[in-house]
Amino acid sequence: MSTIDLEAELTCSPEQAWVLITDPAQRNTWSTTRTLSSDAGGSDRVDRVGAVREVVISTPVRATVHQVVTHAEEPRRFEYEVFKGWPLLRGHHCRIDITPTMAGCAVRVALDVEFASGISLLASQTVRREVQKSLLSLSERSRVLPQVTTLQRTYRPTVPVQTHTEQLRSEAARHLAMQQRLAEELRAAGDPKVWFARLVALTTEEYLSIIDAGQLANPDWALSLLIAIHRQYVTTMHAYRSGGPLSTRWRAALGRCDESDARRPFRCIAVGVVSASRAHMLETMPRALAEVYAQNFRNTRHYKEFRADYIRLGVIYRNALQRLMVEVPGGMEMRILRWCTRVLPEVREFVLRTFYFDIEGERLRAFDTGYDIAREECWPRPQPGENRR
């Protein structure tokens, strides 16, 4: 991990600097990167936590990356992370501090960036030069702006809510124990669904490790989501095993998990796990996201404020899958995956994403679908002839 720490003096007010830095259209007037599109975060604004942007970078290679805003304290601090993009970019977190001065304000950029081994030094030096170039352009841009000393928009801080982290964490631990027991029961019975059950348990373990490490801004939300997902998982498994009511997609997916072929055992495992994971992202995840928001946060928070934490949780699926692969008996795993592990982890992820399942893309679509469901549940559209005030 390399740290780049640079500063520039601006002749505009901190409020104007905030707009220059956070508004995609304004940013394109001075940055060496170019923002192609964006989606609002909290309060339906692009400069709030949870907002995402698609950005073209020119160094160390021309590529498109996706950023999510993780902290917004107008007009003092703005932070974002890259969560998707160039495969050899392993980590990218940027913190921008704006401090008032006699002449206007000072902008400090602290960038933590990590590249794959072998290109780290050269790539970091190139990024540093580009940041310097952008800050120089930002300083020049500030000189042509009129002096403004008051905020042009009202900032509404997040409403504090009472937390129940300890209680939720205890409940999540009980659910994890239940998942582990179910996986062991399936293993003892020789049930092929054991691989999906193990993936669920491993994912929950990774999920809780991130929460326990304090990596999330909203642990209560994350734990509530985990609990909602578990309840739907238990309901789904029970319905399938008992012949109860179940959606067509889930019934087909778990049916795939039941398949076995002695000639191609790994293929059956992969097809079953992928089918169940896809059903989870298409049905379970959006419904759980909407349910948690509607029941716990609809009156205090904006749905998209939780997107940054949701994206941070994306790593749990990669880690859980890697752990599951270790449990697959030797000789069953495909040679190409074993070979990829010896080269670069990014290569293995590319193979899995391309030939099996794009979990990252499906997760983001699930979040958007959950937002649509939540809007319908929290603020349903008026029926024809209905008068709503």
- Residue by residue, pLDDT tens for the chain (389 residues) are 899 999 999 999 999 999 999 999 999 999 999 999 889 999 999 999 999 999 999 877 788 999 999 999 999 999 999 998 887 888 999 999 999 999 999 999 999 999 887 788 888 999 999 999 999 999 999 998 876 544 444 444 454 555 689 999 999 999 999 999 999 999 999 999 999 999 999 999 999 999 999 999 999 999 999 999 999 999 999 999 999 999 999 999 999 999 988 888 888 888 899 999 999 999 999 999 999 999 999 999 999 999 999 999 999 998 998 898 888 876 555 554 555 555 555 555 655 555 566 788 899 999 999 999 999 988 765 555 555 44
Could you tell me whether strands 52-57 and 89-100 are parallel, antiparallel, or unpaired per DSSP bridges?
Answer: unpaired
In 51-104, the DSSP E strands lie at 52-57, 63-73, 77-84, 89-100
Residue 48 CB burial class (10 angstroms; 0-12, 13-18, ≥19): buried
Q: Helix, strand or coil for residue 222?
A: helix
- Using CA atoms, how far residue 58 sits from 32, 55, 65, 123, 338, in Å, is 7, 10, 11, 11, 33
φ and ψ of 191, to 5 deg: -80, 125
The pLDDT of residue 154 is: 44
Name which of 193, 195, 191, 192 is nearest 203 in CA terms.
195
How many whole angstroms separate alpha carbon 4 and alpha carbon 91?
A: 13
Name which of 94, 100, 80, 95 is nearest 17 in CA terms.
100
The pLDDT of residue 9 is: 97
The pLDDT of residue 330 is: 62
Token digits for 276?
A: 């169940």
By the 8 A CB rule, do 62 and 130 touch? no
Q: At residue 143, what is the residue type?
A: R
Domain ranges of the chain: 2-142, 165-378
Token digits for 81?
A: 């992370």
Token digits for 186?
A: 């399936």
Token digits for 356?
A: 């099996």
The pLDDT of residue 389 is: 40
Domain at 2-142, CATH homologous superfamily? START domain (3.30.530.20)
- Tell me the sheet residues that pair with 96: 78, 109
Name which of 136, 116, 119 is nearest 30 in CA terms.
136
- Tell me the sheet residues that pair with 93: 81, 112
The pLDDT of residue 155 is: 45
How many whole angstroms separate alpha carbon 338 and alpha carbon 253?
A: 26
Could you tell me whether strands 34-39 and 52-57 are parallel, antiparallel, or unpaired per DSSP bridges?
Answer: antiparallel
DSSP single-letter state for residue 386: -
How many whole angstroms separate alpha carbon 159 and alpha carbon 300?
A: 6
The pLDDT of residue 332 is: 52
- Tell me the sheet residues that pair with 82: 67
How many whole angstroms separate alpha carbon 7 and alpha carbon 22?
A: 17
Q: Please, what is the angle between helix 315-327 and helix 194-212, to 10°?
A: 130
